[in-house]
Structure 1
């Protein structure tokens, strides 16, 4: 058990002293960029899906006529 606690303590010390953290303002800016891109990508995917669904429905209606 002592080895596990030592590992955890050393890991936290490594995070505090040796990792360079991105400034909070930059993290917020990148988060907004990712959120906007995700919404745009989701809308584009939805639009293509709707277009293909209508095309296939039209094709099936044309075949069954």
Structure 2
């Protein structure tokens, strides 16, 4: 039980004094970057899915 208590105390101490937390403007910029990257990735994957689906449908309809 002592090890668990020491672990949690060390964790709280590290989160308070050793972690550098981003400022609000940095957090906003990072969030916007992640959102834009996610949208671009989703569009690319969606386009690939559309092309493959139509290509395979055309191919199978040839037989």
- Superposed displacement of residue 51, structure 1: 0.8
Larger Rg: 1
How many residue pairs align between the two structures? Answer: 63
Q: What's the TM-score, normalizing by structure 2? A: 0.84
> What do you get for the CA RMSD once the two structures are aligned?
1.2
Uncovered stretches (5+) of structure 2, i.e. residues with no partner: none
TM-score by length of 1: 0.82
Structure 1 consecutive aligned stretches of length 4 or more whose deviation exceeds 3 Å: none
> Runs of 5+ in structure 1 lacking a partner?
none
